[in-house]
Structure 1
């Protein structure tokens, strides 16, 4: 695998930003790891960080480069600050950035496939929310979306901590009334997805959460909502908290689960 640390200018955000990119490389003599790469353009997983992290965190807290080597899968890890992958009420247009500009730039910079069946998204916590939001908002672009301990119910974030945190949530999303039934509401996006089940291909969806995680109840509500709507969802839970030991294990499971052409 090759690791690229890429700094570039975003027209959408109006600023310079960064992403870390892992690119498949065919290797046979590297001690402790054998890398695989397709002869054509590489399939790509957009791997999203959580609220307190940045584009470096998956490399620092997991062995994602080693895990991905066996699959011939490129990994793109962008930096979105504390935006919740959203076109913020007061701030940057981060959903437009990750949904429109980022894939276009990544596919122009690197030898990545632009086919839906080769494009996937996953993330943890805030990034789990972002992954489901991208997959359900744009089912025509993503073959699969995976949430690890995702923030699946934005309305529950109001009054969750302290006044400063609630002000931050309001700067991102506006009021709880503005979230409910909007493109920032995963429950609403699921209903929209269900209404198109007969007319469009649905992305494969994966959700996991530890039973001791503070977001566990939110995840259960979302899982049950998907079940009521009869939307196929791979759901897994086991003992675990909101921490990197759990996510390091589960990202390996996500890579196994992805519908990669082998």
Structure 2
């Protein structure tokens, strides 16, 4: 599995940004195993949570092993605590960076499929929120969304509730990140309205996988969003299991998400953990 750290100038963010990429270009098939056909890779754009960065998924989960087994390319950017949204008041365009620029750049640089059905986005906590809003906003690009313990706390941000101040984020932080709180409902940062608009337009809804731990402090908010989706007639896969807001839970359900995706039936290649 080839692992690379990229640094490139983002027009959306107007600075050099770091991105981790894993791509099984160097996979050596085991004896008796056919070599993969020379074709573009299916791709997962994987978003970290609050306080994290582009290294989180590699250190917190077994994504590298699972991606190699499934012949999947994985792109992991940094979100800088900005919830992966656009805020034109301060010039931050994290949503466009994730939903358009990063996809276009990595497709130019690597042999990645440009098909919607081969392109996925997922994330945990803050990244689960970002994957949802950008997966819905850019539904022509992403064929599937993975949401793990997502921060569906828009009403808490607007109402300045105790939950809205989680992780020591508060009103000033949210104002800087999202813009005026009174402008959030009905905007492209509103995961409910984005879903409603997709349904109303009769557009194809991305396949949606939602997972949350039964001990997670966001359990109630995630289930409230699930009920909202049901009211719209949106079908989705929901899974819960014992666990809190923690890497053990995300590691388990990341694998379940990959098993759920329509990936290739890849096989393990020759590597230091599989020598025989």
Q: What TM-score do the two structures reach when normalised by structure 1?
A: 0.92
**Partner residue, 1:201:** 204
Q: Structure 2 vs 1, CA of residues 37 and 6 (structure 1 numbering), >3 Å: closer, same or farther? A: farther
Measured after TM superposition, the shift of residue 28 of structure 1 is 3.0
1:113-262 counterparts in 2 under 5 A? Answer: 113-157=113-157, 158-159=160-161, 160-161=164-165, 165-197=170-202, 200-260=203-263
**Partner residue, 2:102:** 102
Please give the per-residue CA displacement for 1:91-117, whole angstroms capped at 9, x wherever unaligned: 521111111110111011111111111
Instruction: Kindly indicate whether the alpha-carbon contact (under 8 Å) linking 1:119 and 1:141 is maintained by their aligned counterparts in 2.
Output: yes
SS of the residue 1:191 aligns to:
helix
Q: Structure 2 vs 1, CA of residues 164 and 6 (structure 1 numbering), >3 Å: closer, same or farther? A: closer
Measured after TM superposition, the shift of residue 187 of structure 1 is 0.8
Instruction: Kindly indicate whether the alpha-carbon contact (under 8 Å) linking 2:71 and 2:264 is maintained by their aligned counterparts in 1.
Output: no
Please give the per-residue CA displacement for 1:188-214, whole angstroms capped at 9, x wherever unaligned: 1111121133xx322101111111111
Question: 2:3 & 2:190 partners in 1: Cα distance?
Answer: 34
SS of the residue 2:92 aligns to:
coil
Question: 2:224 & 2:34 partners in 1: Cα distance?
Answer: 40
- Asked whether 1:42 is paired with 2:41, we answer yes
Measured after TM superposition, the shift of residue 29 of structure 1 is 5.0
Measured after TM superposition, the shift of residue 38 of structure 1 is 4.6
Question: 2:140 & 2:176 partners in 1: Cα distance?
Answer: 30
Instruction: Kindly indicate whether the alpha-carbon contact (under 8 Å) linking 2:125 and 2:149 is maintained by their aligned counterparts in 1.
Output: yes
SS of the residue 1:74 aligns to:
strand
Q: Structure 2 vs 1, CA of residues 168 and 253 (structure 1 numbering), >3 Å: closer, same or farther? A: same
Q: Alpha carbon RMSD of aligned pairs, Å?
A: 2.0
Question: 2:75 & 2:139 partners in 1: Cα distance?
Answer: 19
1:37-76 counterparts in 2 under 5 A? Answer: 37-76=36-75
**Partner residue, 2:77:** 78
The unaligned stretches of length 5 or more in structure 1 are none
Structure with higher RCO (Cα < 8 A, 6+ apart): 2
Q: What TM-score do the two structures reach when normalised by structure 2?
A: 0.88
Question: 2:251 & 2:74 partners in 1: Cα distance?
Answer: 15
SS of the residue 1:77 aligns to:
strand
Query: How many residues are treated as equivalent by the alignment?
Result: 257
Q: Structure 2 vs 1, CA of residues 171 and 38 (structure 1 numbering), >3 Å: closer, same or farther? A: farther
Q: Structure 2 vs 1, CA of residues 211 and 35 (structure 1 numbering), >3 Å: closer, same or farther? A: farther
